[in-house]
Amino acid sequence: MSFFKKLKEKLTTQTTEVTDKFKTGLEKTRDSFATKMNELVYRYRKVDEEFFEELEDILIGADVGVNTVMTLIDDLKDEVRIRNIKDTKDIQPVISEKLAELLQKEEEDAALNIQTDGMTVILVVGVNGVGKTTTIGKLANHLKQDGKSVMLAAGDTFRAGAIEQLEVWGERVGVDVIKQQEGSDPAAVMYDALQAAKSRGVDVLICDTAGRLQNKVNLMNELEKVKRVIEREVPSAPHEVLLVLDATTGQNAMSQAKTFGKSTDVSGIVLTKLDGTAKGGIVLAIRHELDIPVKFVGLGEKVDDLQPFNAEQFVYGLFKDILEEQEKEEIED
pLDDT band at 205 (very low <50, low <70, confident <90, very high): very high
- Cα–Cα distance measured from residue 150 to residue 152, given in angstroms and rounded to the nearest whole number: 7
Task: Look at residue 133 and tell me whether its pLDDT is greater than 90.
Answer: yes
Domain spanning 118-310, CATH architecture = 3-Layer(aba) Sandwich (3.40)
Q: Where exactly are the structural domains of the chain? A: 13-105+312-330, 118-310
* Statement: residue 333 has pLDDT above 60: no
Entry pTM: 0.86
- Taking residues 174-197, report their average pLDDT: 93
Task: State what percent of residues in the chain have pLDDT above 70.
Answer: 88
Q: Which residues pair with 272 in a beta bridge?
A: 246
| CATH annotation of 13-105+312-330 | 1.20.120.140
Q: pLDDT grade, residue 22 (50/70/90)?
A: confident
- Coil, strand or helix: which one is 297? strand
State yes or no: pLDDT of 239 exceeds 50. Answer: yes
208 is in an annotated binding site: yes
Mean pLDDT (whole number) for 65-71: 87
Look at residue 215 and tell me whether its pLDDT is greater than 50. Answer: no
pLDDT band, very low/low/confident/very high, at 316 (cuts 50, 70, 90): confident
- The response to whether 128 counts as a known ligand-binding position is yes
Binding site annotation covers 118?
no
By mean pLDDT, which of 107-111, 224-228, 238-242, 305-309 is the weakest?
Answer: 107-111
Whether 252 has a pLDDT exceeding 90, the answer reads no
Query: Residue 272 annotated as binding?
Result: yes
Q: Chain centroid to CA 87: how far?
A: 34
Beta-carbon contacts of residue 250 (< 8 Å; ≥ 6 apart)? 63, 277, 279, 282
Nearest residue to 276 (alpha-carbon basis) of 20, 29, 18: 29
Residues whose CB is less than 8 angstroms from the CB of residue 125 and which lie 6 or more positions away in sequence, other chains included? 132, 209, 211, 223, 241, 242, 243, 244, 260, 264, 266
- Which one is predicted more confidently, 35 or 142? 142
User: Is 137 a known ligand-binding residue?
Assistant: no
At residue 254, the pLDDT reads 81
Secondary structure tally for the chain: helices H, strands E? 14, 8
185 belongs to an annotated ligand binding site: no
pLDDT average, residue stretch 18-35: 81
189 is known to lie in a ligand binding site: no
